Amino acid sequence: MEFQNFTILKRDGSRDQFSLDKIMTAIIKAFEAVDESYSIGSISKIISHLDIKDDIKVEDIQNQVEIALMKEGYFSVAKAFMLYRQSHTEDRETLDKLNFLTAYMEAANAATGSKFDANANVEHKNIATLIGELPKSNFIRLNRRLLTDRIKKMYGKELADKYIDLLTHHFIYKNDETSIAPYCASITMYPWLIGGTTGIGGNSTAPTNLKSFCGGFVNMVFIVSSMLSGACATPEFLMYLNYFIGKEYGVDYWQHADKVVDLSLRQRTIDKIITDCFEQIVYSINQPTGARNFQAVFWNVAYYDKYYFESLFGNFYFPDGSQPDWNGLSWLQKRFMKWFNKERTKTVLTFPVETMALLADNGECRDKEWGEFTAEMYAEGHSFFTYMSDNADSLSSCCRLRNEIQDNGFSYTLGAGGVSTGSKSVLTVNLNRCVQYAVNKGMDYKQYLEEVIDLCHKVQLAYNENLKDLQEHGMLPLFDAGYINMSRQYLTIGVNGLVEAAEFMGLEITANDKYKEFVQGVLSIVEKLNKQYRTKDVLFNCEMIPAENVGVKHAKWDREDGYFVPRDCYNSYFYVVEDESLNIVDKFKLHGAPYIEHLTGGSALHMNLEEHLSKAQYQQLLKIAANEGCNYFTFNIPNTICNECGCIDKRYLHECPKCHSKNVDYMTRIIGYLKRVSNFSQARQEEASRRYYAGPKKMTV
Ligand SMILES: [Zn+2]
């Protein structure tokens, strides 16, 4: 056969000229390895069996060589050739790891060093974080194999191949492919309250008093988090804490919090004991943990106004038959927020991520007291999310999820609705690439998107079957013990590059009808398919993913492949993050009802401001949010950390207010997590520096 100028596809995806010499050399080496004699004639005969096409993969050529050797009866040579391939594969893998190790050691920080999937939440780079990084590439391979095997079984080889094709060409992105655990969960703590951690493999018994609650809670959260790849939300945390304080000091403890109840030399008051509980829990949970390769656990908590509280816990009973007490909880929630805000001027505390759930009615907070308190906390510089809805039927109980209470129903045995939910797995569509690919090929982009999104649903169902298989083999005690409910966990379809796709289509990214139509057109495809694939056991949701890496990765890959890429990190919002012409109201509008109505996951507006507003101004903004139907948002004002004296100030300053050093770092929110800017990955730091923080002139309230 004639070998002309063929190109071959190498393992790293690059192309090279086909070389007959290289193949002949490899075959001759195999002959020599087993001392088998050969001639140019016999080698030519083996080569004549090969069928070389343009863009053939190296592996395919090698497979053909093996078959050709066997066809010609050189069985021992074929075996030698296979062993030779194997040892080369192993060498390559080891070399890859060595190169990675060297690069990681030299990287500026842990997030930049991580090649595959930087943990949002690793502060330091050390031997423990390196141990966590090394097996990531193997996990990716294993996860792809597990998933494609299942897809083949359920839908055939063609779909499995199509999945890998879309994945490797970056039309879709599988989040957390480096982990094998389900994604995130908002747990109910009820099983722990009844039976301690024994049901999930721990050895502590049920908490019986305030002390065992505080210690046990930390252990429980660590165990739960070790079996998840993402966040662990404990929406009942303060409600349970209130219960245990009440058991110790009476349900009305908060009315005499200054009473001395500790008769040791320390003479602590109830209030001081409560502060000690907060300290113990929050500082313990912010510790890096061995089980998560030196990451802290991703811990979320929720605060409720009276209406949400009643809707969620109105039918809740503790094991002793008593019900949660709103007055005590309301006091404790405020106490915790005030404490946490103050504590953050002493040290960088990323967790818990907090969400305030408020019920709105005609643009007003129904619970006046809690609406006011929310504005007060923002004015005091505290940073937290607000979830505001005009009916109590939906709730963000996990940082990422809007969850319909009506759908979930109530379960007395498992605690209450709105709890024990979360996301099993996230599969993200790169909208910018999909839309451009379709338009460039002269296709209807909506039709193409529907094809891609339909595939995503099938892939997610395959993932779900694998998860059920794990559960059947006793591998998921969180589900078995009732902390999470398999059928209430969502399969998430993520979207990224929405704004960029709209920009490619020539649309102006402001609150105008054409842009709105585009957004609705795209997101309603996901919503339609979410409904279509939904069964009583399987739920789908859609969110604009706030992942720390994907936006950067997509922009880089798309640019390399010649697509239109207007910025280095794809937006996580409906507006352009560096656009200086938009004012605060514009941004609320662009995260208002018409834009978010097809999303069912937490896509929080991060309102970046240069300086803090007054309580009255924040109250006004809460009203605007309620009127626009923007249900999930936070205000982000960079806090200043002095690198010289360690002072933390809630304001965005260019000089330390104490020692006047200009060597300052900032603490800001990167997609949910409050972190030091210098600990972000390189690409993220660049994004943060371009981010526009609205100054006083943009605050039209
Ligand atoms: Zn200083």
Q: Which two tokens stand for residue 33?
A: 């390895």
Indicate the residue type of 430.
N
CA 256 to chain centroid, in Å, comes to: 42
User: What pLDDT score does 411 carry?
Assistant: 27
Strands annotated E in 561-660: 605-608, 632-636, 639-642, 648-649
Q: From ligand 1's centre to the CA of 666, what distance in Å? A: 13
pLDDT tens track for 352-372: 989 898 988 888 999 999 999
Q: From ligand 1's centre to the CA of 665, what distance in Å? A: 11
Q: From ligand 1's centre to the CA of 349, what distance in Å? A: 19
Q: From ligand 1's centre to the CA of 340, what distance in Å? A: 22
Q: From ligand 1's centre to the CA of 614, what distance in Å? A: 26
Bridge-based pairing of strands 232-233 and 353-361 is unpaired
Q: Which two tokens stand for residue 689?
A: 């520096």
Q: From ligand 1's centre to the CA of 124, what distance in Å? A: 22
Range of 113-127, 305-319, 536-550 with top mean pLDDT = 305-319
Q: From ligand 1's centre to the CA of 652, what distance in Å? A: 14
Phi, psi of 361 (to 5 degrees): -145, 120
Q: From ligand 1's centre to the CA of 621, what distance in Å? A: 33
Q: 693 with 608: CB under 8 angstroms?
A: yes
Q: From ligand 1's centre to the CA of 654, what distance in Å? A: 11
Q: Does residue 107 sit in helix, strand or coil?
A: coil
* Mean pLDDT on 129-141: 85
Bridge-based pairing of strands 639-642 and 648-649 is antiparallel
Q: From ligand 1's centre to the CA of 676, what distance in Å? A: 16
Q: Which two tokens stand for residue 44?
A: 């030519």
Q: What is the DSSP letter of 491?
A: E
From the CB of residue 258, how many other CB atoms can be counted at a distance below 10 Å?
8
Q: From ligand 1's centre to the CA of 607, what distance in Å? A: 27
Strands annotated E in 127-179: 172-174
pLDDT > 90? residue 398:
no
Cα angle value 363/364/365 (rounded, 5°): 130
Q: From ligand 1's centre to the CA of 230, what distance in Å? A: 35
Q: From ligand 1's centre to the CA of 663, what distance in Å? A: 8
Q: From ligand 1's centre to the CA of 643, what distance in Å? A: 7
Selection from 568, 618, 575, 622 nearest residue 595 by Cα: 575
Q: What is the largest CA-CA distance in the chain?
A: 99
Q: From ligand 1's centre to the CA of 669, what distance in Å? A: 22
* Mean pLDDT on 207-232: 93
Report cis status (omega within 30 of 0) of the bond before 288.
Answer: no
Selection from 687, 447, 673 nearest residue 553 by Cα: 687
Q: From ligand 1's centre to the CA of 113, what distance in Å? A: 29
CA 670 to chain centroid, in Å, comes to: 12
User: What pLDDT score does 410 carry?
Assistant: 27
Q: From ligand 1's centre to the CA of 202, what distance in Å? A: 44
pLDDT > 80? residue 420:
no
pLDDT tens track for 261-281: 998 999 999 999 999 999 999
Question: What length does the chain have?
Answer: 701
Q: From ligand 1's centre to the CA of 653, what distance in Å? A: 11
Q: 598 with 631: CB under 8 angstroms?
A: no
| Reported confidence tier of residue 320, pLDDT bands at 50, 70, 90 | very high
Selection from 222, 350, 349, 235 nearest residue 297 by Cα: 222
Percent of the chain clearing pLDDT 70 (strictly above): 90
| Reported confidence tier of residue 476, pLDDT bands at 50, 70, 90 | very high
From the CB of residue 400, how many other CB atoms can be counted at a distance below 10 Å?
29
CA quadruple 323, 324, 326, 331: dihedral, nearest 10: 140
Q: From ligand 1's centre to the CA of 656, what distance in Å? A: 5
Handedness of CA 15, 17, 23, 26 (dihedral sign): negative
| Reported confidence tier of residue 614, pLDDT bands at 50, 70, 90 | very high
Q: From ligand 1's centre to the CA of 651, what distance in Å? A: 14
* Dist CA 648 CA 665 (whole Å): 10
pLDDT tens track for 366-394: 999 999 999 999 999 999 989 888 765 55
pLDDT > 60? residue 616:
yes
Of 245-254, 426-435, 448-457, 661-670, the range with the lowest mean pLDDT is: 661-670
Q: What is the DSSP letter of 185?
A: E
CA quadruple 25, 26, 27, 33: dihedral, nearest 10: 110
Q: From ligand 1's centre to the CA of 345, what distance in Å? A: 13
Helices (H), 344-476: 368-379, 405-408, 431-440, 445-472
Q: Does residue 383 sit in helix, strand or coil?
A: coil
pLDDT > 70? residue 452:
yes
In the block, tokens 């200086």 appear at 580
Bridge-based pairing of strands 15-17 and 172-174 is unpaired
Cα angle value 114/120/125 (rounded, 5°): 50
User: What pLDDT score does 335 carry?
Assistant: 98
User: What pLDDT score does 405 carry?
Assistant: 37
User: Who surrounds ion ligand 1 at CB < 5 A?
Assistant: 642, 644-645, 647, 656, 658-659, 661
pLDDT tens track for 571-588: 888 998 888 888 889 999
Which helix (H) or strand (E) segment holds residue 615: the answer is helix 615-628
Q: From ligand 1's centre to the CA of 381, what distance in Å? A: 19
User: What pLDDT score does 545 carry?
Assistant: 80
HSE-up of residue 236 (Cα within 13 Å, Cβ side):
29
pLDDT > 70? residue 22:
yes
User: What pLDDT score does 417 carry?
Assistant: 33
CA 51 to chain centroid, in Å, comes to: 45
Percent of the chain clearing pLDDT 90 (strictly above): 53
Q: From ligand 1's centre to the CA of 634, what distance in Å? A: 28
Q: Which two tokens stand for residue 594?
A: 């018409």
* Dist CA 145 CA 147 (whole Å): 5
Q: 495 with 542: CB under 8 angstroms?
A: yes
Which helix (H) or strand (E) segment holds residue 642: the answer is strand 639-642
Of 58-67, 128-137, 280-289, 643-652, the range with the lowest mean pLDDT is: 128-137
Which helix (H) or strand (E) segment holds residue 284: the answer is helix 270-285
Q: From ligand 1's centre to the CA of 7, what distance in Å? A: 60
Average pLDDT, the chain: 87
Q: 605 with 533: CB under 8 angstroms?
A: no
Q: Which residue has the higher pLDDT, 18 or 432?
A: 432
Q: From ligand 1's centre to the CA of 122, what distance in Å? A: 25
Q: From ligand 1's centre to the CA of 671, what distance in Å? A: 27
Q: From ligand 1's centre to the CA of 667, what distance in Å? A: 15
* Dist CA 180 CA 177 (whole Å): 7
Q: Which two tokens stand for residue 331?
A: 């006091």
Q: From ligand 1's centre to the CA of 649, what distance in Å? A: 10
Q: 582 with 511: CB under 8 angstroms?
A: no
Indicate the residue type of 588.
F
pLDDT tens track for 628-650: 988 888 998 889 999 999 999 98
pLDDT tens track for 138-158: 889 999 999 999 999 999 999
Q: 684 with 110: CB under 8 angstroms?
A: no
User: What pLDDT score does 291 carry?
Assistant: 62
Strands annotated E in 33-164: 56-57
Q: Which two tokens stand for residue 648?
A: 């933390």
Q: From ligand 1's centre to the CA of 342, what distance in Å? A: 18
Q: 673 with 636: CB under 8 angstroms?
A: no
Which helix (H) or strand (E) segment holds residue 364: the answer is strand 364-365
Q: From ligand 1's centre to the CA of 644, what distance in Å? A: 5
* Dist CA 12 CA 284 (whole Å): 43
Range of 160-164, 348-352, 589-593 with top mean pLDDT = 160-164
Indicate the residue type of 599.
L
Q: From ligand 1's centre to the CA of 647, what distance in Å? A: 5
Q: From ligand 1's centre to the CA of 639, what distance in Å? A: 13
Q: From ligand 1's centre to the CA of 650, what distance in Å? A: 14
In the block, tokens 């949910």 appear at 672
Q: From ligand 1's centre to the CA of 664, what distance in Å? A: 8
Q: Does residue 669 sit in helix, strand or coil?
A: strand
* Mean pLDDT on 495-512: 96
* Mean pLDDT on 665-679: 77
pLDDT > 90? residue 131:
no
Map out the domains of the chain as residue ranges.
Answer: 7-93, 107-183+423-572, 188-408
pLDDT > 60? residue 409:
no
Q: From ligand 1's centre to the CA of 642, what distance in Å? A: 5
* Dist CA 577 CA 671 (whole Å): 12
From the CB of residue 13, how many other CB atoms can be counted at a distance below 10 Å?
8
| Reported confidence tier of residue 701, pLDDT bands at 50, 70, 90 | very low
Q: From ligand 1's centre to the CA of 648, what distance in Å? A: 8
In the block, tokens 């951690």 appear at 197
